[in-house]
Amino acid sequence: MLHDDLLSDAQGLAEGIVALRRAIHAEPELGLQTPKTRDKVRAALAGLPLDWREGPSTTGLVATLKGGGGGCRRVLLRGDMDALPMPEETGLPFASTVPGAMHACGHDTHTAMLVGAAQLLCARAGELAGDVQFMFQPGEEGWHGARFMLEDGLIDPLPDAAFALHVMPNAPHGIVGGRAGPLLAAADQLEICITGAGGHASMPHQTLDPVPIACEIVLAIQAMVTRRFNAHDPVVVTITRLDAGSAHNVIADRAVLRGTMRSLSPAHRAQLHDAVRQLAGGIAAAHGLIAEVTIIEGFPVTICDERAVTFGEMVATQLWGGEAFLRMPDPIMGAEDFSYVLEQVPGAMFFLGVAHQGDDSSQCCGIHSTRMMVDESVMPRGAALLAALGQQFLAEGFA
């Protein structure tokens, strides 16, 4: 069972958790190398009984706490550390001091809450029935940081379960959400280069104009999505850029389409790649042009284990009652590189609502907004949840 004093102890850490979040927020770092954030984490956990591991590919950290209560289970708790390449427009006194960088996805809060969870569990180390791995991961925003940390052997041997928590600024204050199966989508970048033959815009019959072919491909993709894929296992293809030409009276030699492809199953992901190549190549060939398709694979589908979600629901309701947990009816088509961990370890990611108490959460700025805000009073709740997930899994497993 959970310690009765876990919530009060987490609240006692609130000042430190919030101060760490603000310090990280003010100095956001991008990509796989986040040394300032790493150093803040190390300083916040200095002197605690943790074994630290770092690898060559990133500044990621794995801190292991060995429990003294017997048992052989191992559980991983993860927080990500990197920011986004975008300006901040919150007006906060601790707003980003780095031009063009902002913690607009809540990774500053994830790291601070995981530090709080580590402090809570270190205080209970003698009672823990196994080991806890605290994974502080950079490079989540498209950099595949979790994959690199796995490849570097920082999580070897693999744990028996893994959990992560992600804030949601446009979800009700304090609510915990999750779902079994696909939670977040696979995300791949798409580029289609249509090559023709340019010329004067007044004489299109003497050219092979790639622009109408590009437009035809865009429209055909929409029909392909609705006619070749089961709506109960959805895919999304969004073309966000069409680049061609340099003047109003010049037909370009080529047009380039760029966009994103999202899918919720490995099977549909592979089928989508093949279908886009077939469609673009066929349309271009029908008009005497060539279409070259380039797909840059992003993160896999984030798939949550049913046992882990049920376990998380049980822990959240033990902490705060039956209204604390929301079973999400649908996946979100965003992507997460915690998916790499969940490909190898049973576990789950949960969302934590951080809208201010009393606000209409649906009207709050969402993640990746330049004006995203967090109610910091929710953060001890997140630290307590992470600690409780780790503590109770070591004691009971998924049973």
CATH number (domain holding residue 364): 3.40.630.10
Token pair for residue 342?
A: 């969940």
- Give the whole-angstrom CA distance, residue 6 versus residue 124: 10
Show pLDDT as tens, one digit a residue, over the chain (399 residues).
Answer: 555 689 999 999 999 999 999 999 999 999 999 999 999 999 999 999 999 999 999 999 999 999 987 788 999 999 999 999 999 999 999 999 999 999 999 999 999 999 999 999 999 999 999 999 999 999 999 999 999 999 999 999 999 999 999 999 988 899 999 999 999 999 999 999 999 999 999 999 999 999 999 999 999 999 999 999 999 999 999 999 999 999 999 999 999 999 999 999 999 999 999 999 999 999 999 999 999 999 999 999 999 999 999 999 999 999 998 889 999 999 999 999 999 999 999 999 999 999 888 877 777 778 888 999 999 999 999 999 999 999 999 999 997
Cβ–Cβ < 8 Å for 354, 173? yes
Structural domain contains residue 1? no
pLDDT at residue 4, rounded to an integer: 66
Coil, helix or strand at residue 208: strand
In which residue are the tokens 């050219």 written?
207
Same domain membership, residue 275 and residue 242: yes
Same domain membership, residue 133 and residue 104: yes
Structural domain contains residue 392? yes
Cβ–Cβ < 8 Å for 54, 61? yes
Structural domain contains residue 225? yes
- Give the whole-angstrom CA distance, residue 344 versus residue 385: 23
- The gap from C-alpha 314 to its chain's centroid, in whole angstroms, comes to 24
The beta-strand segments (E) located in 170-253 are 176-178, 181-184, 186-195, 199-200, 235-244, 250-251
Cβ–Cβ < 8 Å for 81, 137? yes
| Domain end point (choices 280, 297, 314) | 297
- Give the whole-angstrom CA distance, residue 204 versus residue 200: 7
For residue 252, give its domain range: 186-297
Domain CATH code at residue 192: 3.30.70.360
Same domain membership, residue 340 and residue 243: no
- The gap from C-alpha 4 to its chain's centroid, in whole angstroms, comes to 32
Structural domain contains residue 274? yes
Same domain membership, residue 162 and residue 213: no
Structural domain contains residue 34? yes
| Domain end point (choices 297, 326, 341) | 297
Same domain membership, residue 218 and residue 70: no
Structural domain contains residue 179? yes
Q: Quote the longest CA-to-CA distance of the chain.
A: 82
Token pair for residue 69?
A: 């209560």
| Domain end point (choices 262, 297, 332) | 297
pLDDT at residue 71, rounded to an integer: 80
Structural domain contains residue 54? yes
pLDDT at residue 361, rounded to an integer: 73
How many domains would you assign to the chain?
2
pLDDT at residue 343, rounded to an integer: 96
Q: Is the pTM of this model over 0.85?
A: yes
Same domain membership, residue 309 and residue 234: no
Same domain membership, residue 371 and residue 225: no
Same domain membership, residue 222 and residue 167: no
Q: For the chain, first and last CA: distance in Å?
A: 13
* Residue 292 backbone dihedrals phi, psi, to 5 degrees: -110, 125
Same domain membership, residue 172 and residue 61: yes
Cβ–Cβ < 8 Å for 161, 345? yes
pLDDT at residue 286, rounded to an integer: 97
Same domain membership, residue 69 and residue 199: no
Cβ–Cβ < 8 Å for 386, 12? no
pLDDT at residue 2, rounded to an integer: 54
Same domain membership, residue 380 and residue 275: no
Same domain membership, residue 351 and residue 207: no
- Give the whole-angstrom CA distance, residue 196 versus residue 210: 5
* Residue 48 backbone dihedrals phi, psi, to 5 degrees: -90, 155
- Give the whole-angstrom CA distance, residue 75 versus residue 117: 13
